Chain A
Amino acid sequence: MNPVLSPQLALVILLVFGLLWVGFGYLLGKNNRTLADFMLAGRNVGLALAAATAMATWVTSNTTMTAPQLTYQLGVWGMAGYSLGAVGLLLFAPLSTRIKTLLPSGFTSGDFIRLRYGNTAWRVFLLISFFYALGWLISLGMAGGILVNALSGIDYRTGMTVILIVCVAYTLLGGLRAVIATDFIQTLIILVGVICLAWMVIDKVGIHSLHRAVQDRRPMLLNLLLPASIMFLFNNLLFGVGEIFHSNVWWSRAFAFGEGVGGKAYFLAGLMWLPIPIVAGFIALAAPALGLTVPSADMVGPLVAGEIMGTLGGVLVFIVIFSALASSLDSLLAATADLITQDVYRGHINPAASDQQCHRAGKWIIIGLGVFTWMLCYPRLTTLASLLYFTGAFVASAIWPVVMGLYFQRPNAAGATLGMIAGTLSGLYSYFAIGFYVAALVSCAVSLAVMLICIGLKPEQFDFNNLREDKST
């Protein structure tokens, strides 16, 4: 397949936007005085930036590239099912408010699990979190290299390296403040880019003629009773909820948002995210009307954009995908570095560490994570890219320990620990024995059952004030 963009033009775009993000990170980093400034952007982020960062982080390269691919493979349910990923953001809205109320001085999701369930559950949770974060980091790093290569012909390793260096640099310079501010601009770019592309498709092809062409040539894509699509819908829903509920990417934002902002921000972000996979996915359905031969489904979006808008379409897709990648990669780098700094360095290695030492350690950890991700992405092993799907079994096991622990007194440490372990193991078993689409479902159900049994056997009377008593943060 021919790239839709010349390597020179793609390199110029990468450099211009890369310099813009890094410069922004540098400027914003100058205001960081304390550890809370660096890790949590001062704990008082307003609604506009909060809603934009929540939305942009959830719009990854997957949303902009996989939504068209899934629509091309699974039809209308592919795009509608993908848009249900918004449910995770919407459901996290009330949790975010509860988190900020219960842990006003918390730093990470690990803080909550440690204070609510004790050290054993905390360590199991950290393993799940790190495994997931690693899977997401590798999938983003590799997606960066692969997409840059597919769109412009730039060597995979060059593209992957440039994207990683840019994201590490501005996260390092500006901390969460830079991540959130760049997310705002990246959100606007993603939204405007997707709108322009969809508008051009409607203008050049028309919705009715597009529908007619699909009905004539690939009618199954319009079938509302496609079983594979319906199964995909449920798995995607649960996987998304598990990802958001447990991951420090979302918890650190709940801590960073100002008083009364978190709930509104996550709700707005969910509403804004909801139509994006439909709009991005719809572009793919223009392929039959345009008479395009699609060599691989994952390139259908850029192909349609290139066909309709020529070089301008290629540039637009490239900028949208770069923004989507950067907005997720920077958040993940910052949140994972926070988790390692707070829960591993301060929690296990140096409990007496001052805020200043943690600040310094956090910066080294961001660099280390960047280098580690680069090393794992360098060989371009496809098995590594599928790691993210594998983590569905892990993250879904943490849904109930988080939700029940936040709202009810009776869940106990044994239930949370065993629930996460049994949920993960059964999810993994079903992943291999049945298929990827049941891993999250089984893991979530088993974890719930184990927690309920433990509550029945030995209910706890947890005092939520204990969550406020953590002085280490």
Chain B
Amino acid sequence: MIAALLISSSAFSTLIVVALALTMLSPLLLLVLMWLDTRSDRLW
């Protein structure tokens, strides 16, 4: 019999919400970086 340790609902929610929040920040971060690179002529 293999031991079972189920992830709780609150831990699961935290994992998903944090992952989703980080994913949502990524496009914003990329667009800000793009704006900064374009402004300082460092795109290429």
Chain A interfacial positions (CB closer than 8 Å to B) = 41-42, 44-49, 51-52, 55, 76, 80, 83, 177, 184, 187-188, 191-192, 194-195, 198-199, 202, 207-208, 211-212, 215, 219-220, 222-227, 258, 268, 271-272, 274-276, 278-279, 282
B6 and A222 form a contact (CB under 8 A): yes
CB-CB < 8 A to B5: which residues of A?
223-225
CB-CB < 8 A to A258: which residues of B?
42
Chain B interfacial positions (CB closer than 8 Å to A) = 2-7, 9, 12-13, 15-20, 22-24, 26-27, 29-31, 33-34, 36-37, 42-44
Tell me the bound Cα distance from A271 to B29 in angstroms.
Answer: 11
Name the contact of B3 in the complex, choosing from A47, A192, A225 (C-beta under 8 A): A225
Closest to B34 in A: A48
Tell me the bound Cα distance from A188 to B26 in angstroms.
Answer: 9
Tell me the bound Cα distance from A215 to B19 in angstroms.
Answer: 21
B18 and A48 form a contact (CB under 8 A): no
Known contacts A191-B23, A278-B19; A49 and B9 CB within 8 A of each other: no
Closest to A278 in B: B19
B30 and A223 form a contact (CB under 8 A): no
CB-CB < 8 A to A211: which residues of B?
9, 12-13
Name the contact of A282 in the complex, choosing from B19, B37, B43 (C-beta under 8 A): B19
Least Cβ–Cβ distance between A280 and chain B, in angstroms: 9
Name the contact of B4 in the complex, choosing from A76, A208, A220 (C-beta under 8 A): A220
Tell me the bound Cα distance from A184 to B34 in angstroms.
Answer: 10
Known contacts A46-B43, A275-B23; A207 and B16 CB within 8 A of each other: yes
CB-CB < 8 A to A46: which residues of B?
33, 37, 42-44
Residue of B4, B17, B20 with most chain A CB atoms under a 10 A cut-off: B20
**List of 5 A-B pairs having minimum Cβ-Cβ separation, nearest first:** A48-B33, A275-B19, A46-B37, A278-B19, A48-B34
27 of the cross-chain contacts (CB-CB < 8 Å) are: A45-B44, A46-B33, A46-B42, A47-B33, A48-B36, A48-B37, A49-B34, A49-B43, A51-B30, A52-B30, A76-B15, A177-B44, A188-B31, A202-B16, A202-B20, A207-B13, A208-B9, A208-B13, A220-B4, A222-B6, A222-B12, A223-B4, A225-B2, A274-B22, A275-B20, A279-B19, A279-B23
Tell me the bound Cα distance from A49 to B24 in angstroms.
Answer: 18
CB-CB < 8 A to A225: which residues of B?
2-5
CB-CB < 8 A to A279: which residues of B?
16, 19-20, 23
A224 and B30 form a contact (CB under 8 A): no
Identify whether the interface residues of A are mostly helix, strand, loop, or mixed: helix
B42 and A194 form a contact (CB under 8 A): no
Least Cβ–Cβ distance between A278 and chain B, in angstroms: 4
CB-CB < 8 A to A271: which residues of B?
22
Least Cβ–Cβ distance between B8 and chain A, in angstroms: 8
Least Cβ–Cβ distance between A128 and chain B, in angstroms: 32
Tell me the bound Cα distance from A188 to B43 in angstroms.
Answer: 17
Least Cβ–Cβ distance between A199 and chain B, in angstroms: 8
Name the contact of B37 in the complex, choosing from A47, A274, A275 (C-beta under 8 A): A47
Known contacts A47-B33, A223-B6; A42 and B23 CB within 8 A of each other: no
A276 and B23 form a contact (CB under 8 A): yes
A191 and B7 form a contact (CB under 8 A): no
CB-CB < 8 A to B31: which residues of A?
188
B23 and A48 form a contact (CB under 8 A): no
Tell me the bound Cα distance from A199 to B19 in angstroms.
Answer: 12
B29 and A268 form a contact (CB under 8 A): yes
B3 and A222 form a contact (CB under 8 A): no
Name the contact of B44 in the complex, choosing from A41, A207, A226 (C-beta under 8 A): A41
Tell me the bound Cα distance from A279 to B18 in angstroms.
Answer: 10
